[in-house]
Amino acid sequence: MNSLLTPAMAGLSAGGAYAILGVCAIFTYRLVAVVNFTGAAVGACGAFIMVALVEMGMPLFPAVVLGIAAGALAALFVGFITTIWFSGANGSVKAAVTAALLVGFIALGLRLTGGQHPKRFPDILQGAWLRLADVQITNASIAAIGLAIVLTIAAEQFLNRTRTGLELRALSERPMAAELLGIRVRLLALIVWAIAGAVTAFALMLIAPLRSPDFASLSLLIVPALAAALIGAFKSFRAALFGGLAIGIIEGLASGLVGLNQYRAAIPFIVILLVLLWSQREARWDESR
19 pLDDT above the threshold of 70: yes
Q: Which residue has the higher pLDDT, 194 or 88?
A: 194
For 132-150, how does the pLDDT look when each residue is reduced to its tens digit (9 = 90+)? 556 666 777 788 888 889 9
What is the largest distance, in Å, between two alpha-carbon atoms of the chain?
68
Q: Name which of 8, 44, 22, 62 is nearest 206 in CA terms.
A: 44
* Mean pLDDT over the full length of the chain: 80
Asked if pLDDT for residue 280 goes beyond 80, the answer is no
Domains of the chain, CATH where assigned = 2-288 (1.10.3470)
**Rounded Cα gap, residues 152 and 158, in angstroms:** 10
pLDDT at 10 over 80: no
Element (H, E) at 136: strand 135-138
DSSP class of residue 84?
I
Phi, psi of 202 (to 5 degrees): -65, -40
Residue 180 confidence (pLDDT) above 60: no
Q: How far is residue 279's CA from residue 133's CA, in Å, rounded to a whole number? A: 42
Q: Are 121 and 51 in contact (CB under 8 A)?
A: yes
Which residues, 6 or more positions from 190, have their beta carbon under 8 angstroms from its beta carbon? 76, 79, 80, 83
What pLDDT is recorded for position 285?
47
41 Cβ contact list (under 8 Å, min separation 6): 74, 101, 102, 105, 106, 109, 218, 219, 222
At residue 250, the pLDDT reads 85
Q: Please choose, from the candidates 197, 199, 221, 70, the residue with its C-alpha nearest in 3D space to the C-alpha of residue 146.
A: 199
CA distance 99 to 6: 36
Neighbours of 287 (CB within 10 A): 8
Residues 6+ apart with CB under 8 A from 51: 63, 67, 119, 120, 121, 122
Q: What CA–CA distances, in Å, run from 39 to 103, 188, 252, 288?
A: 12, 18, 23, 39
User: Given a cut of 70, is residue 7 above it in pLDDT?
Assistant: no
Q: How confident is the model at residue 174 (pLDDT cuts 50, 70, 90)?
A: low
Lowest mean pLDDT among 127-131, 156-160, 213-217: 127-131
Residues in contact with 6: Cβ distance below 8 Å, sequence separation at least 6, in sequence order: 134, 135, 136, 256
| pLDDT at residue number 288 | 46
35-74 pLDDT tens trace: 899 989 999 999 999 998 998 988 988 999 999 999 999 9
| Residues 184-233: tens digit of each pLDDT | 667 777 888 899 999 999 988 888 877 767 888 889 889 999 999 999 88
Other C-beta atoms closer than 10 Å to the C-beta of 173 total 11
Residues in the chain: 289
- Give pLDDT, residue 1: 47
The residues, ordered by sequence, that sit 6+ positions from 34 with a Cβ below 8 Å of its Cβ are 28, 82, 91, 94, 95, 98
Return the SS3 of 129: strand
Which has the closest alpha carbon to 27: 288, 259, 180, 236? 236
Percent of the chain with pLDDT over 90: 22
Q: State the average pLDDT over residues 167-176.
A: 59
Instruction: Read off the pLDDT of residues 224-274 as tens digits, 9 standing for 90 and up.
Output: 999 999 998 888 899 999 999 888 888 877 776 666 667 777 888 888 888
Q: Of 53-67, 78-92, 274-288, which range is least confident?
A: 274-288
